[in-house]
């Protein structure tokens, strides 16, 4: 920025706030983006998850995709390619790490349960996210390939969006519609009472063992998965 280069910074709301506080003054050549954040996870838990996969596949990891769309956007998955040529891919309902994050809140940082940035005005010029539940309000915009939520928070953000608006397909919506599928915009996640137990167990046991000890019965998850698939089939029939 000191060389007058245009800089775009994207991070969680707290990271954007930290950057702006560090800089102490506004820079005309800085554009900031944050994203709809449920909370950030413990690196310790993530490394134990990767360690579990490498042990199971007997190989080091070569590449990782979060929110891989092999099974579509709504049923996003995690894909991991290994150096021995093998591939791991499981959707959000079966991958242990995604379940532990989205369903269980097992390993979020403690500060995320009382986040100071779930408010307006936002700290960034533009907020990005997935437009979850868009099929309920704008079914023709749900292609199951990913529909983005874009919240313009400043004059600079409005100018930037104006530069691309003629090259994209978009529809103006309301905050209430966005909040229906993204309550994390204004609401902190709830702490799992088993979080401390899980994190302490990681020092002795593998990720999958700790997960099974601290989460719900898999039978219930199988039922939820069948209900989801049925609802998704019905929705597609009604849409098309």
**Tens of pLDDT, residues 180-221:** 999 999 999 999 999 999 999 999 999 999 999 998 765 566
Residue scoring higher pLDDT (71 or 239): 71
Same domain, 126 and 179: yes
Q: Find the helix or strand (DSSP H, E) in which 215 lies.
A: none
Dist CA 181 CA 34 (whole Å): 17
Dist CA 211 CA 199 (whole Å): 10
The reply to whether 190 falls in a domain is no
Nearest to 36 by CA among 65, 13, 69: 13
The reply to whether 160 falls in a domain is yes
**Tens of pLDDT, residues 27-60:** 999 999 999 999 999 999 999 999 999 999 999 9
The reply to whether 130 falls in a domain is yes
> What is the model's pLDDT at position 35?
98
Check pLDDT > 90 for residue 89.
yes
Same domain, 120 and 156: yes
Same domain, 47 and 153: no
Same domain, 78 and 133: no
> What is the model's pLDDT at position 228?
64
The reply to whether 65 falls in a domain is yes
Side-chain-side CA neighbours of residue 202 (13 Å): 20
The reply to whether 191 falls in a domain is no
Check pLDDT > 70 for residue 237.
no
3-state SS track over 75-133: CCEEEEEECCCCEEEEECCCCHHHHHHHHCCCCECHHHHHCCCCCCCCCCCEEEEECCC
Same domain, 100 and 204: yes
Q: Is 237 exposed, middle or buried (0-12, 13-18, 19+ CB in 10 A)?
A: exposed
> What is the model's pLDDT at position 239?
55
**Tens of pLDDT, residues 107-132:** 999 999 999 999 999 999 999 999 99
Same domain, 120 and 179: yes
Averaged pLDDT, 93-106: 95
Same domain, 60 and 95: yes
Dist CA 75 CA 175 (whole Å): 24
The reply to whether 58 falls in a domain is yes
What does pTM read for this prediction? Answer: 0.85
Same domain, 125 and 233: no
Q: How many domains is the chain built from?
A: 2
Averaged pLDDT, 142-166: 94
3-state SS track over 169-203: CCCCCCHHHHHHHCHHHCCCCCCCCCHHHHHHHCC
> What is the model's pLDDT at position 229?
65
Same domain, 17 and 66: no
The reply to whether 209 falls in a domain is yes
Same domain, 47 and 82: yes
Check pLDDT > 90 for residue 143.
no
Same domain, 24 and 75: no
Nearest to 62 by CA among 90, 88, 91, 101: 88
The reply to whether 2 falls in a domain is no
Q: Which domain holds residue 60?
A: 43-109+196-239
Task: Classify the C-alpha dihedral 168-145-101-131 as positive or negative.
Answer: positive
| Residue in this structure with the two tokens 């209430």, named with its chain if needed | 176
Query: Do you find a cis peptide bond into 121, omega within 30 degrees of 0?
Result: yes
Contacts of 217 (CB under 8 A, 6+ apart): none
């Amino acid at each position: 920025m000191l060389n007058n280069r245009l800089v775009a910074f994207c991070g969680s709301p707290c990271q954007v706030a930290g950057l702006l506080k560090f800089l102490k003054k506004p820079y005309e050549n800085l554009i900031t983006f944050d994203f709809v954040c449920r909370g950030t996870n413990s690196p310790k838990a993530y490394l134990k998850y990767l360690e579990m996969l490498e042990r199971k596949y007997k190989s080091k990891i070569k590449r990782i995709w979060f929110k891989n769309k092999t099974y579509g956007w709504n049923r996003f998955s995690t894909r991991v390619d290994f150096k021995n040529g093998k591939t791991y891919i499981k959707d959000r309902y079966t991958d242990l790490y995604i379940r532990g994050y989205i369903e269980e809140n097992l390993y979020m940082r403690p500060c995320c349960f009382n986040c100071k940035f779930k408010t307006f005005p936002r700290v960034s010029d533009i907020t990005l996210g997935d437009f979850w539940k868009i099929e309920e309000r704008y079914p023709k915009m749900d292609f199951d390939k990913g529909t983005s939520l874009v919240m313009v928070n400043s004059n600079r953000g409005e100018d930037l969006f104006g530069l691309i608006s003629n090259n994209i397909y978009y529809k103006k919506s309301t905050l209430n519609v966005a909040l229906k599928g993204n309550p994390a915009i204004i609401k902190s996640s709830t702490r799992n009472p088993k979080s401390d137990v899980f994190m302490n167990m990681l020092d002795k046991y593998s990720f999958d063992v700790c997960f099974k000890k601290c989460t719900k019965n898999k039978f219930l998850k199988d039922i939820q998965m069948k209900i989801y698939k049925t609802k998704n089939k019905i929705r597609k029939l009604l849409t098309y």
